Amino acid sequence: MKKLLYSLILISLFAFSCKKPAEASVATINFIEPTVGDTIAFGEELHCEGTVLGNGELHGYTLTMVNLLINQTVYSASSSAHSESYVFHEHWVNNVTDTATIKVLLEVELDHDGNKSAKELNVVCLPN
Amino acid sequence: MRFILFAWSLFFSASIFACDICGGVSSNASIGLFASTKFHTIGYKSTMRSFTSYLYGIRHSQEYLFTQELQFRTQLHPRIQLIGSLPFQNAVQLRDLGRDAVYGIGDANLLGNFVLYQNRDSLGMSKNFLSVGLGVKFPLGKNVPSSNVLKNLYPGTGSWDYLLLANYTKQFSSKWGWQTEASYSLKGTDKYNFRYGNTAQIASQGFTNRGVGSYRLIIATGLTFEHHQTSRANGAIDSSITNAGYILSAKASVNLLTYRWLWSFNVQHPMKQNVNSSTIFQNLSAGLSLNYLIKKSKNEKVTL
């Protein structure tokens, strides 16, 4: 009887500890900075800060900044951390040589099947 | 059984020395368990502290601060000790999307400790020891304006800071004693008109002193409470950079005293804390130090 009881306790512990959180079907991305149309002077930092909240487990995210004038990625970083929420807080120093629109894009992996949520905004970077 | 109890106490209590909340935001001083001895010492101390930071209630980053310190103590007069140290700090912030590292020489400090009262028994063992210390911390370490988001990782406060310290050590018997230490750090203003908040600390610990062959093993455990006032930029409270709040920690140390060397290992672990509205949490800290004892005379005894 004791053996049965211990076995049940062990099985229950195993079952509960292995319970995976549900995958998210949607993520809410909130940019706190920058705001649309911000103008960044040469040598100053383009400050990207915000939050990502999922309605379940998220599978990572990527922050990208693209110079649309020359179609070149000036910053890109990814995280593969699994979590229901993220906070990002990164910087890129404006070094453009011509006035350029920079697209700031945040993409969140909802699962490992390629489903994503994304949000983007554009700012203006000035040359020296 | 005693070993198990001791190991348990180390694992579950843990604690440090005079603690800073972040990089250069030092420092309440501590002259530690060996305050009542009269050795000249030179030594090296290595410490590791870590913090977890939150933004909008979500974990944002993990900070690790590694400090290497050269330190000395000299007995200028039977009632006057001079204690100093020069730190070098490596700080790393790890975020989901990147990492930043800041390193450099920190703020050197010098403290004069004045023995107000000390009585010894017939064997020369200190029974009661009371001292007060006055110190200064020189702005040698790298420092940046408060607009820099990594300011708290820099090794200097950028200001002249002043330290006040009081230490009372009571030895109940040859094997047991108690020490209480209080300190206050008065922060100055840096060239960017930024001023870290003043900090206060009180620590109390019991210790036991045991013979291990020809060596002495001193084990201590206790509590530390530290309070950080609000930081200010241009006279106004800077909520983005302040470390205002308190930390109550348990601490423990193991010290091995040989004929010429003092080995020390200490750990500190916060039990209750609220720093910057609970956006910064201090984690387990640990330190290891090795000091060479320069005895004043060959007949001097190793007593606390």
B58/A51 Cβ within 8 A: yes
CATH fold group of domain B2-294: Lipocalin (2.40.128)
Pick from B106, B112, B110: nearest CA to B84 = B110
Interface confidence (ipTM) of the complex? 0.75
| CATH number of the domain where residue A98 is located | 2.60.40.2550
Supply angle C-alpha A98, B145, B64, rounded to 5: 100
Q: Return the residue matching tokens 């291990």.
A: B212
Residue B302's pLDDT is what? 54
Alpha-carbon distance values, B279 to A41, B244, B273 (Å): 31, 11, 11
Interface check A44 vs B, CB under 8 A: no
Smallest Cβ–Cβ distance between A79 and the set B58, B60, B97 belongs to B97
Range of the domain at A99: 22-125
Give B136's DSSP letter. E
Q: Are B175 and B202 spatial neighbours (Cβ–Cβ below 8 Å)?
A: no
B151 pLDDT band (50/70/90 cuts)?
confident
Pick from B138, B15, B21: nearest CA to B84 = B138
Strand B80-95, strand B232-233: pairing: unpaired
Where are chain B's structural domains? 2-294
Other C-beta atoms closer than 10 Å to the C-beta of B199 total 25
Has residue B16 got a pLDDT over 70? no
- Would you say residue A2 lies in a domain? no
Q: How far apart are CA A74 and CA B34, in angstroms?
A: 56
Q: How many domains does chain A have?
A: 1
Q: How far apart are CA B46 and CA B68, in angstroms?
A: 5
- Distance from the A25 Cα atom to the nearest Cα atom in chain B, whole angstroms: 20
Report the b/e string of B107-133 with b at 16+ CB within 10 A.
Answer: bbbbbbbebeebeeeeeebbeebbbeb
- Would you say residue A5 lies in a domain? no
Q: List all residues of chain B from 42 to 101 with a beta carbon under 8 Å from chain A.
A: 54-56, 58-61, 95-98
- Would you say residue A9 lies in a domain? no
Average pLDDT over residues B73-84: 92
pLDDT in tens, B239-279: 666 778 999 999 999 999 998 999 999 999 999 999 888 88
Q: List all residues of chain B from 146 to 205 with a beta carbon under 8 Å from chain A.
A: 149
B87 cis-preceded (ω within 30 degrees of 0): no
